[in-house]
Homo-oligomer: A and B are copies of this chain.
């Protein structure tokens, strides 16, 4: 009764030897670099400093750890890309910032090229129904976020292209850039494609 005084409440038994946040970050990076099949549970235990027992206790298995890593990725990486959409400035400025973040995310670290969702989850979804469902949700949420930004800018509802479709195009471009980064394209090349993407999308609203 006197152990949970203040903020130092310690659970009953032997304390964990790993840091949950750091473990998730390390697991995420391992999946990102090696793919779902390519990253073994042994490798995961090594990089997260977790025992197999702890991994299964905390996440239920490899599949659960992967889903947790995806959520961590969405909160720490995708969130930055989505935040660039603002609205912070004009639509042109925000789209420019958006694609700049996309290229940065895809090329910043040569150990983790491309996108954990577009490249890794997208592949794992092929042979796992739970992952397919997760991918669908993530993709739809991403497109909805872009669509909302276009609507906020007063996207002409009478034009040939609805904001929902334009958002689908914008998202497809972002994923194409992620894929190209995975295959070795560098920051310079992709930044030029990103600039062209902004121009092309903006002229769609005329």
Residues of chain A at the chain B interface (Cβ within 8 Å): 34-35, 37-38, 118-120, 122-123, 125-127, 132, 135-136, 139, 160-161, 165-166, 168-169, 171-177, 179-180, 182-184, 189, 192-193, 195-197, 199-201, 203-204, 206
- Kindly report how many copies of this chain are found in the complex they form together: 2
Contact of B184 with A168 in the complex, beta carbons under 8 Å: no
Closest to A180 in B: B172
22 contacts between A and B (CB under 8 A): A34-B127, A35-B127, A119-B122, A122-B183, A123-B123, A125-B183, A132-B184, A161-B196, A161-B199, A165-B192, A168-B180, A168-B189, A168-B192, A169-B196, A169-B197, A169-B200, A171-B180, A173-B173, A175-B176, A175-B179, A200-B200, A203-B204
Q: A122-B182, A125-B183, A165-B193 are in contact. List 9 more A-B contacts (CB 8 A).
A: A35-B123, A38-B126, A132-B184, A160-B199, A165-B195, A169-B173, A169-B200, A172-B173, A174-B176
Contact of B166 with A175 in the complex, beta carbons under 8 Å: no
**A154: min CB distance to chain B, Å:** 18
Complex Cα distance, B202 from A160, in Å, reads 14
Closest to A133 in B: B184
Contacts of A196 in B (CB 8 A): 161, 165-166, 168-169, 204
Contacts of A171 in B (CB 8 A): 176, 180
Contacts of A35 in B (CB 8 A): 123, 126-127
Contact of B179 with A179 in the complex, beta carbons under 8 Å: yes
Complex Cα distance, B167 from A200, in Å, reads 12
